[in-house]
Structure 1
Amino acid sequence: MKFTLSWLKRHLKTDATIEEVAEAMTLAGLEVEEIIDPAKALSAFTIAHVISAEKHPDADKLQVCQVETVDGPKQIVCGAPNARAGIAVAYAPLGAYIPGLDFALDKKPRKIRGVESSGMMCSGKELEMGDDHDGILELDPSQFPVGQAISDAMGANDPVIDFEVTPNRPDWLGVNSIARDLAAVGLGELITPAIEPVAGTFPCDQEITIEDTDGCPAFVGRIVRGVKNGPSPQWLQDQLKSIGLRPISALVDITNFVTYDRARPLHFYDLNKVQGAIMVRRGKDETFEALDDKLYTASASDIAITDTSGILGLGGIVGGESTGVDENTTDILIESAYFDPLTIRRTAKRLGVNSDAKYRFERGVDTGGLIDGAELATRLVMDICGGEPSDIKVAGEIPATPADVNFNTDLVERLTGLKLSDFAMEKILTDLGFGVVKGETWTVTVPSFRRDAVGGADLVEEIARIHGFHNLEAVSLPPLPGRREPTATLTQNRTRLARRALALQGLSEAITWSFVLEDHAKAFDGGQANLALDNPISNDLNWMRPSALIHLLLAGQRSANQGYPGAALFELGPIFQGTAPDEQSLSLAGMRRVEPSRDWAGAVDITALTAKADVMSALAAMGANTDNLQVMDAVGSYWHPGRSASLRLGPKNVLASFGELHPRALKSLGIDGRVVAFEIAPDNLPAPKKKSASKAKSALTLSDLMPVHRDFAFIVSEDVRSGDILRAAKGADKQLISEVSLFDVYRGKGVDEGHKSLAIDVTLTPKAATLTDADIEAVSSKIIDKVMKAGGRLRG
């Protein structure tokens, strides 16, 4: 919803600036999204006078103009056909940004065909003040002095507020209601002009009947004869253009003005095009051409406005072309109706229509404004287009006003802690349009435009909102008795540490959708039919994701496309294998794009082992015993079979998969190049064993004796994992062997085909005494025996 400061002042007497208005709205619960000040965008542009204009010596279509500007005399080369002496123009100085052309002038004069030019004379389109681009803005120098701001000269100094309207407050879709709330908070005095009834001079002889009373309880109609439709007055055009609406004609502009001014959607019919009686009924699969130049079919679930010829429009959504007003219209029928919000919402969603009328009717317009809306429209039509009005005709029954609320004022302090006087509470409610009858329990009359207020708690909210939520005293809740458990779960604490560890690894955290495209889900072993969304937010987010990698990969590709290669991202979030509670799990996923890098210290290759290092860092941070993990095949068809693996605690408990992603999976997502990634299942980590009550750390024990290193080389089959060999070697003597590492893998001469040589370094750390040769030989024998049982033999 947008409105200008001048429009607000039609209803609110105030000296507040646009910033003060926005602040007051925010404190009153109206969420301001943006303040648009056209004067700031045009601050560099001023009025200048053209003193002389001579033909460019080297170009037929250019003029060399001597111009009196706020910066003194300037020479400007201009190609506009209307550039001549004796006119006032819009002057852009050197360095100014031209919004309509999206570029900035050079900060120094430049030569155009050999003639120096300092600045620019602008057209309306170049200043985004119109569509005229055939010539520069041409003004009367007697009315616009040199140096006057172009925003003041052209009336482009009316700031606009754009704010979000919550679904429960449809009254905020009218500027008069915004003014009412601002007056209630003390920003000014409410001066909304009263709507004076217009006496009819003849009966309304247009027959109007309602068959669908559920969809349209009431239809207020009035004929105005002898109107003259044409361009609307300048004030009305400026008002609509300021909020982004295009003026069309006086009659159409009047309906748009009332829609935004009073949150009262209207529709005008060209009465001479209406054939017979007007009936409001359900559609019968009838197709008609709408005012937006599209064809729509009204089904049995839609509210149709019809005559004997067929459909005239969809009630509350869009009018039909057959009875639309134009420059030849002389007689009109004013429609001010009420339509069922739920029906409007369903029809608009099915047809994909989003009109200003639909936006208001689906939220529920003021039922008390049906007749007032017709009266206001009549007055504007007569003032602008002339004409003679009929009496008002009401078809159906206008809905009753909301029920009164019995209000216990003690509820204010009980729910908010505010201690306000009866006078203060009564003033807030009456300023908002409520009626108050005091007693032991107050009887509060709810206005028709506030049907959201149905109980005492709603009135408490209004009182607190206007008094100011920022004035609520911060009071701590009383402490609960007894011992309280930590609020964070084990998994939450673990993943918090894992996220920090991954950030230290150089990965950036992302938060992405839990929805993906169906084809993307299938590429990552998902896409089950029961995971399709019935109401997706977009066509490319129509399936629950089986993997958190999908959006990370797409984000990395987008970054690369925009010139930022080498994305390294991770995310903690849910993934889905089905719809049952135990088929949703938590995943900690990450990816790195394999991109060539340039560094003075040498390029660091990104491989599957890089992803493993990320995984080990996260698992260690979560408290997993990484020495006991088994390395097995990765889980998922989207992993590269030769460049991926999984880490497990036992054959079935998969803690993580890591490695390079399969090119087929990347191609299905449109990913270029290679990517290494990982997926960790935090829920699969076993709970730690219970510790003693003491929180003291165990003593640090360091050996005073020098460690001893021994190297071994084992021949193993190609299908034997190096991790199994390392684990077997370390298990030979857990007290003496402190570390085992792989430092070489050899295939070739001396090693049988289908086999490989693994060279390992074993670190022996004595605790009590220096190791003798016999001790070392004994440990070495144990290591060889253990490795042989794991599938290796000592290389000769």
Structure 2
Amino acid sequence: MRVPFSWLKEYVPELESAEVLEERLAGLGFETDRMERVFHIPGGVVFARVLEAHPIPGTGLKRLLLDAGQAVEVVSGAPNARPGVGVALALPGTEVNGLRIGEKTIQGVRSFGMALSPKELGVGEYGGGLLEFPPDALPAGTPLAEAWPEEVVLDIEVTPNRPDALGILGLALDLHALGYSLVLPEVRLETENVPIPFGLRVEDPKGAPHFTLSYAFGLQVGPSPLWLQRILFACGMRPISNVVDITNYVMLERAQPMHAFDLRFLGEGIRVRRARPGERLRTLDGVERELHPEDLVIAGYRREESFPIGLAGVMGGAESEVREDTQAIALEVALFDPVAIRKTARRHGLRTEASYRFERGVDPLGQLPAAQRALALLQEIAGAKVAEGFLEAGNPKAPDPIPFRPDYANRLLGTQYPEGEQLAILKRLGCQVAGEGPYQVTPPSRRLDLRLEEDLVEEVARIQGYDTIPLALPAFFPAPDNRGVERPYQRERRLREVLAGLGFQEVYTYSFTDPAKAPLFRLPPPPWRLQNPLSPERSALRTHLFPGLLEALRENLALDRPARALLFEVGRVFGKEGDQVVEATHLAGLLFGEGVGLPHGEKLSGFPLLKGYLEAFLEQLGLGLRVEAHPFPFLHPGVSGKVLVEGEARGFLGQLHPEVQRALELPPVWLFELTLPLPEPAFRFQDPSRYPLALRDLAVVVPQSVPYGAVEEVIRQAAGPYLEGFALFDLYQGAPLPEGRKSLAFHLRFRHPQRTLTDEEVDQAVASVVQALRERGWDIRA
């Protein structure tokens, strides 16, 4: 959005400079993409009035007689060159946009200078006609730079949640909240008690929740005053006429688009409805468009005949546009459904200043104030007379009050902002504050983003300045709730940490899926479709995570050929119960390839390896795993199991079905998917012992084929009741051990629960272990 500094300063006169403004806006959340200086008008360009315009026979040129403080004759090919308008005249010797203007003879006519278009003057992009001014805009011969000084324009980025900031007044109100004084434009409107000669019928109240029509007549259509054209050019818009320019000016001021219809082309009035099959409309850009039945249109009507005159919220029709001889208008100021406008604009490939604002949302109570502002300017600039009444359909609702607790704001932010200061900020933002403990804060209707208490807290922080928030996280943030249970995000973070520690890589896939691919994965059709999908491939909500993991694996295998892959994802899936959406969190994992680094040097793959990973994962969470054979349509019929965690059915584990594997052109792949949250492990607590440990080390030599579990079982059975625990700390193979043998070394921990063990008791327990091991034919290393 382009923000002329001089225009914003009219509402915020205390602004120091454009550079300070850039800094203030950045603190408010509006980053400046660029800052530029515009309107470098040369001193040799003066204001002149066209006195006469005579066609030059046999050419498309005209001989103009101008009053530039003295009579000046120039030749121009501009179609809008005519008597009674003011123009920008570059006198001989002036350099404009790298072109030096001189005296020359054109078609036998001596031309002393050049009447300029906006593009030639360097104030706009339009080069199809002269820059027009009212004939009395300035004294003839006045250097144009005196009334059109250089301007600084900031091009700022407005976030989607702040549609009110797409108007200069919205930015001024934010700056006012920082402490700047605010000067609001004064609206002086004189009305006449005359009947309104047209009707209004809104046949689609969902598409147009609020619609107003005002009546202005006695108009004198002509060029806009110089100050108004200067603002529009600075904002990147081309002035058209005073009536059209006023509607654009108020839109840029208040972020409320509006449109003026020439009353001669309305018939009996206006209907707001959906388009009918086969209807067509030629829009203001000159393109004849075939309308879609979902397009919201503004239509005129005569008796029962109805005809489109505008594409609601996007662009008006060419037939009903304001012309030079327009004398009466119906001024439309409305609130439209953002989704309907977005769809219409996209269907027709149109992106206008109006649609851009309607798509983001406009103030639901801002239509009448914006209409009054525009009518007052029409009265002042175009000599309009305004009817006292207006037509209105719809009754928009004011925002609901929001409970607000200053102490909660400080706890959430980790700050100590005084209560009075917080309330003062909200009031300067336009909020109404009532009650106390908690306060009831009603946000201004223009602030569509303020709906929760946390939104108000964010506003306090934004206006105070984010740099005033302590860098340390609030102490309560990572703490468990009052039941001592971890919050869901903490539990999910723990799951991610454990899986990453086991060697899995986390991926993120789309929550949206292609419903046509459901049969490919042997899944039922997704129950929920999007009304406005980004593409057909993302038009439904997913029901499982594993298809996304398979797609991710396939895309990576197409780029590279890794020996193995371990992937996982934690994400939302969507089901259906009755007519309700059921949302759940799933954890899914994928294995491709073999395991490495196992104790005995052998490699594992497939089902045993993935089951081992899953067991290790759940063991670190203090949970037990059991897998029971169970068929799943998307898993291999012979390698498919139901996963039970602490006895509760939580998902599946198995090999991808061969048909799915072939269709995706994948190697063998093994999968699991679990529903979260997992059961809570049993809470265990034991008082720390008052008695010391007795430690012993023991090394056992066994054949390489003997598993660790067999040695563990013998030690546990023979050590007696006081063995508190033991751990393997060394695995050794090689000389001086015989070939085919390995050594397992253990730390043994003994402790009596009620007294200190004697050395004799510990030695006797160790001797029992040694005897049991030797009875198995195993040796003890010295």
Query: TM-score interval w.r.t. the shorter chain?
Result: 0.5 to 0.7
Aligned to 2:9: 9
Q: 3-state SS of the aligned residue for 2:157?
A: strand
Alignment partner, residue 391 of structure 2: 396
Q: Does residue 317 in structure 1 map to residue 318 in structure 2?
A: no
2:547 matches 1:550: yes
Does the aligned pair in 1 maintain the 2:718–2:772 contact within 8 Å?
no
Question: What runs of 5+ residues in structure 1 fail to find an aligned partner?
Answer: 43-85, 91-123, 133-153, 383-387, 596-603, 713-724, 740-758, 780-796
SS in 2 for 1:219: strand
What is the aligned partner in structure 1 of residue 686 from structure 2?
A: 693
Structure 2 Cα separation of the partners of residues 453 and 558 of structure 1: 42
Match of 2:300 among 294, 306, 312: 306
Residue 358 of structure 1 is matched in structure 2 by 358
Alignment of 1:171-570 (within 5 A): 171-186=164-179, 188-195=180-187, 197=189, 207-212=197-202, 218-223=212-217, 225-228=219-222, 235-236=230-231, 238-241=233-236, 254-272=246-264, 274=265, 276-280=267-271, 282=273, 285=276, 287-289=279-281, 291=283, 293=287, 294-296=289-291, 304-308=298-302, 310-313=306-309, 317-325=313-321, 329-331=324-326, 333-339=328-334, 341=335, 344-345=337-338, 347-348=340-341, 351=344, 355-356=355-356, 358-359=358-359, 360-361=361-362, 363-377=364-378, 379=380, 382=382, 389-392=384-387, 394-396=389-391, 419=418, 429=427, 485-488=483-486, 496-528=493-525, 530-532=527-529, 539-556=536-553, 569-570=567-568
Query: Would you say the 8 A contact 1:334–1:374 is kept in 2?
Result: no
Deviation at 1:696, TM superposition (A): 6.9
Determine if contact 1:634/1:645 at 8 Å carries over to the other structure.
Answer: yes
Deviations 1:612-660 (A, max 9, x none): 564344233223457xx55x76864434568x66585699966775566
The 5-angstrom pairing of residues 565-576 of structure 1 reads: 569-576=567-574
Distance 1:163 1:691 in 2: 54
What code does the residue aligned with 2:568 have? F
Conserved 8 A contact 2:210-2:396: no
Give, in whole Å, the separation in 2 of the partners of 1:675 and 1:2. 57
Q: Give the Cα–Cα distance (whole angstroms) in 2 for the partners of residues 278 and 88 of structure 1.
A: 48
CA gap of 1:684–1:528, structure 2 versus 1, over 3 A, is: same
Query: What's the offset of the Cα at 1:700?
Result: 9.2
Task: Give a deviation string over 1:693-728, Cα, whole Å, max 9, x none.
Answer: 33679969765242312649xxxxxxxxxxxx9999
Return closer, same or farther for 1:427/1:568 CA change in 2, 3 Å cut-off: closer
- The aligned runs of 1:754-793 (5 Å cut-off) are 768=768, 770=770, 775-776=775-776
1:706 counterpart = 2:707? no
SS in 2 for 1:499: helix
Q: Which residue is 2:101 aligned to? A: none
| SS of corresponding position for 2:768 | coil
The normalised TM-score by structure 1 is 0.56
1:373 aligned counterpart, secondary structure = helix
Please state how far the C-alpha of 1:175 moved relative to its aligned partner: 0.8
Cα distance, 1:372 vs. partner?
A: 1.6
Q: Shift in Å at residue 769 of structure 1?
A: 5.0
- Would the aligned equivalents of 1:368 and 1:448 in 2 still touch at CA under 8 Å? no
The Cα of 1:507 is off from its aligned counterpart by 3.4
Partner amino acid, structure 2, of 1:255: T
CA distance in 2, matches of 1:648, 1:486: 28
* Aligned CA distance change for structure 1 residues 667 and 618 (closer, same or farther; 3 Å): same
- Structure-2 residue corresponding to 1:793: none
Q: What is the Cα deviation at residue 182 of structure 1? A: 0.4
CA–CA distance in structure 2, aligned partners of residues 398 and 4 of structure 1: 35
- Judging changes above 3 Å, is the alpha-carbon distance between structure 1 residues 377 and 575 closer, same or farther for their aligned structure 2 residues? same
Query: Aligned equivalents of 1:537 and 1:276: distance in 2?
Result: 40
Report the aligned-residue RMSD: 6.4
1: CA distance, partners of 2:636 / 2:240:
61
Deviation at 1:179, TM superposition (A): 0.7
One-letter amino acid matched to 1:12 = V
Check 1:636–1:25 CA distance in 2 against 1; reply closer, same or farther (3 A cut): farther
- Report if aligned partners of 1:709, 1:763 keep a CA contact under 8 Å in 2: no
Aligned residue in 2 for 1:61: none
Query: What letter is aligned with 2:197?
Result: E
Cα displacement (A) at 1:209: 1.7
Q: 1:400 to 1:708 in 2, by over 3 A?
A: closer
Q: Percent identity?
A: 20
**Are the counterparts in 1 of residues 652 and 672 from structure 2 also a CA contact under 8 Å?**
yes
Deviation of 1:548 (Å): 1.5
Query: Given that residues 288 and 297 in structure 1 are in contact (C-alpha distance below 8 angstroms), is that contact kept between their aligned partners in structure 2?
Result: no
**What is the number of equivalent residue pairs in this alignment?**
601
1:619 partner amino acid? L
How many angstroms apart in 2 are the aligned matches of 1:582 and 1:282?
A: 32
Q: SS state of the match for residue 210, structure 1?
A: strand
Query: Contact (CA 8 Å) 2:36, 2:152: kept in 1 or not?
Result: yes
Query: After the TM superposition, which residues 620-699 of structure 1 pair with which residues of structure 2 at under 5 Å, given as runs?
Result: 620-624=619-623, 636-639=632-635, 646=641, 648=643, 661-662=656-657, 664-665=659-660, 673-674=666-667, 676-681=669-674, 688-689=681-682, 691-694=684-687
- 3-state secondary structure, aligned to 1:9: helix
Distance 1:449 1:769 in 2: 81
How far did 1:4 drift?
5.0
Letter in structure 2 aligned against 1:279:
I
Cα distance change of structure 1 residues 690 and 613 upon mapping to structure 2, 3 Å threshold: closer
Aligned residue in 2 for 1:618:
617
Partner Cα distance (1:446, 1:317) in 2: 26
| Structure 2 Cα separation of the partners of residues 684 and 457 of structure 1 | 27
Q: Structure 1 518/767 Cα, relative in aligned 2: closer, same or farther at 3 Å? A: farther
Code of the aligned partner of 2:497: R
Answer with 521-530 or 575-584: which moved more: 575-584
Structure 2 CA distance for partners of 1:346 and 1:769, relative to 1, 3 Å: closer
Q: Distance in 1 between matches of 2:581 and 2:742?
A: 44
The question of whether the paired residues in 2 share the 8 Å contact of 1:585 and 1:683 is answered with: yes
Contact 2:545 2:586 in 1 (8 A): yes
Question: Which residue does the alignment assign to 1:71?
Answer: none
- Structure-2 separation of matches of 1:776 and 1:554: 52
CA contact (8 A) 1:172 1:263 kept: yes
1:605–1:708 Cα change, 3 Å? closer
1:171·1:366 contact (CA, 8 Å) conserved in 2? Answer: no
- Whether the 8 Å CA contact 1:645–1:659 is kept in 2: the answer is yes
What is the rounded CA distance, in whole Å, between the counterparts of 2:775 and 2:686 in structure 1? 39
Q: Is the aligned partner of 1:579 residue 2:570?
A: no
Distance between the aligned counterparts of 2:510 and 2:460, measured in 1? Answer: 38
Q: Which amino acid aligns with 1:276?
A: G
Residue type at the aligned position of 1:210: L
* Residue identity opposite 1:174 in structure 2: G
Q: Tell me, in whole angstroms, the C-alpha distance in 1 between the residues paired with 2:327 and 2:662.
A: 61
Q: Aligned partners of 2:14, 2:502: CA distance in 1, in Å?
A: 57
Residues 518 and 526 in structure 2, CA contact (< 8 A), matched pair in contact too: no
In the superposition, the TM-score normalised over structure 2's length comes to 0.57
Name the aligned partner's letter for residue 199 of structure 2: T
